[in-house]
Structure 1
């Protein structure tokens, strides 16, 4: 958590005592203080904070997709300006990540510290709405439920990055955060946040009276937000191996077995002053820097899989990156985004159906699991599943389908999936001669801060 402001060198911190998570109480209309938003806040101020929370909610997207996708060999990030995006992220130059690992080590990277910004922003939203005299109790519950839902989602990002090394979950005081807790405890904390958010949403009545961005279109009601909350709870449940809990959550979510597989809330993008979609690349652009499709996604695909045609664009010329370890050629690029303002889903119906399939498999309910698998296979233009129906066989099939259905989504699904089923060794590194990492240490900035505060 503290690593966010340790982007500055430790010496500068000692001189300036700067902490962007604690805002001084100053009277300045151009730089309002935290107190100005948490003492008798207006509806407009609460709205500003909610919009800011959505902005911080999406700040992990590029690094999570490019880096975690590289770890799981969903993608390669071929970068003509800085080869470390290839050599380091693929474990070519360094076989074991250290506390100064490129893109993550010194400052924690956007997958480590940006989630904590969103978590803190959500806490500010809660303080603000609780102080707002113009906001009814029902409206307050709705806003708190939304904020807790985002917090639950965000805590899972750093937890999955450092895994067994643990994260801080007590960050109410950024100058004195709590200890690191193990992965399972962190995931249990996520469950408690999501359950608390769901309870708050259940206490609310009527409409969600504050404005959310277009990313929540279709889910910007109390009922819609409850379904999003339960969708995130389902993802959390499979990480905790709570299979019945996962089924209960997907059944209360927006999962629709007959619906659009891509349906779900998203991170919105737009023209300036908004941010552009960070995963969009001009088709066939003559560039030497691009996130490209890992070649094994093409060679391992089943014949006729529509996802290959829909998600991967075969380039007229490859993007080439030559290192001392291997020559990497990206013959395919991401085809999912029509333009640079297309929204990026952060959880969708297709994932929920696959969670349902996984939970049924783990609960020794093969018929129900196969039925869910076949929804995905049919949509992909594949024949119904005809393999073995043991739990192990079904899990292998589900992980294979997740590899294509959830390819390069801003989460690193394949890396996380392979780790939770002890299958990291099955990720093929023959093309890049690299290493598959299990987890990351705490960033050097975090370690430096610990030393500073002794």
Structure 2
């Protein structure tokens, strides 16, 4: 983490700031086109605050490609077939006994999108808070709104490395990039993330009401008010509280979120994409494109589907020609590709009303409130066209049903829900490996670069 934080603290942040630091004590050379960290640390202008907010939104989506490809592979929601580099199959599927080590492909040297990228967003938010706290050019209410927004994004981003290394723990205190705090256990990290989200919610509330005082991208359309951002904050808190097994906390957070039992299941904040100078949706593939590198639907998802499930019909496209990649364990054949995106500029919603309703069902089930759990489950089932739930209403039976519905409702979203869900219910053994003769991972070690930096700094 020290290596990551050092690079972040003194490198380009979201194309809006650059830090100058010369160990030989030569004159600092500032970027003439972008403000330095020093220039925004005191009396930043409203324009500079706006740049930093936009930069934070850009950093906020940085994890999407890596998490969507890797974590959803670990949970066997997808295969990321890549004929050019077999390690995307052999290593990520754990074939031939491969298990994560500190230099594992895609993660070991830098941590990739699961480790380094979230911390870049966390540090971007730190710089934004620093700028807001130390300027007289915006009002106290505006400062509070900016801090609340920053902490909301930080809460979301901290959950990524926490769930990546799991019981190995993460650093929560990265304020000083050259002297970050110690690793803290998973449960403690989740508790600290909960505090960050609560502080963000309170800061947003203290800023007043009405619109957020700075411009947000189209990803926050419908949520660009103080109330809307508080609802996003509480939605993230509901997800977090499920990981904390605070089931009443889940329900309380949902009450303040944008959950709507009668609303659009796809409603929620999104990561926007577009043409240059922006970037395209990294999960979009041209339908039936003649390529051998593509995210494909894992065959177990197709085999285990309920007949007539509209989610299968709407999310999966059966290809004219399957994508086939040969591995040490034999050929992997992808018959279906992702059909969720209309174009390469489609936004990606990162927490949706559908997930919130399923979280409500899960909380009620764990609180032995079967009637309420079934009511929430049936909203999802009926939307999928598979009819109401008719099974047992014991907690165990309801959790089985909820995890099954989450598998299809939240398929391949940029979070790796099934991998995390199976782990938190001690069901990793339920994830099938017969299709690829691989291994199901529990967690990853800290990247080697993290330990190398510890040795270098002598701490």
The two structures have a TM-score, normalised by structure 2, of 0.95
Query: Which residue of structure 2 lines up, in the alignment, with residue 245 of structure 1?
Result: 249
Of 19, 23, 31, the match for 1:23: 19
Paired with 2:271 and 2:74, the residues of 1 have a C-alpha distance of: 23
Task: Quote how far apart the aligned CAs of 1:80 are.
Answer: 1.1
Aligned 8 A contact 1:292 1:334 in 2:
yes
Cα RMSD, aligned residues only: 1.6
2:425 maps to which residue?
Answer: 421
- Secondary structure of 2:95 counterpart: coil
1:76 to 2:72 alignment? no
Q: Which runs of 5+ in 1 are unaligned?
A: 8-16
Which of 354, 358, 371 is matched with 1:350 structurally? 354
In 1: Cα distance, 2:335 partner to 2:442 partner: 28
2:263 maps to 1:267? no
Q: What is the aligned length? A: 446
- Residues 326-347 of structure 1, C-alpha deviations (whole Å, 9 max, x = no match): 2100000000000000000010
Q: Is the 8 A contact 1:187 1:236 kept in 2?
A: yes
Does 1:376 pair with 2:380? yes
* DSSP 3-state at the match of 1:322: strand
Is 1:171–1:177's contact at 8 Å kept on the other side of the alignment? yes
Secondary structure (helix, strand or coil) at the match of 2:379 reads helix
How do 1:1-400 and structure 2 match up within 5 A? 1-4=1-4, 23-24=19-20, 26-206=29-209, 207-400=211-404
Matched-pair contact (CA < 8 Å) for 1:57–1:150: yes
Aligned 8 A contact 2:74 2:419 in 1: yes
Contact 2:6–2:177 (8 Å) recurs in 1: no
Cα offset for 1:93? 4.1
Secondary structure of 1:329 counterpart: strand
Q: CA deviation at 1:251?
A: 1.2
Deviations 1:46-67, CA, capped at 9 Å, x for gaps: 0000000000000000110110
CA contact (8 A) 2:10 2:19 kept: no
> Structure 2, unaligned stretches of length 5 or more?
21-27
Deviation at 1:262, TM superposition (A): 0.3
| Separation in 2, partners of 1:364, 1:107 | 43
Deviations 1:336-368 (A, max 9, x none): 000000000010000000000000000010000
In 1, Cα distance between the equivalents of 2:187 and 2:329?
Answer: 37
Moved more, 140-149 or 200-209: 200-209
TM-score (norm 1): 0.96
Give, in whole Å, the separation in 1 of the partners of 2:172 and 2:54.
24
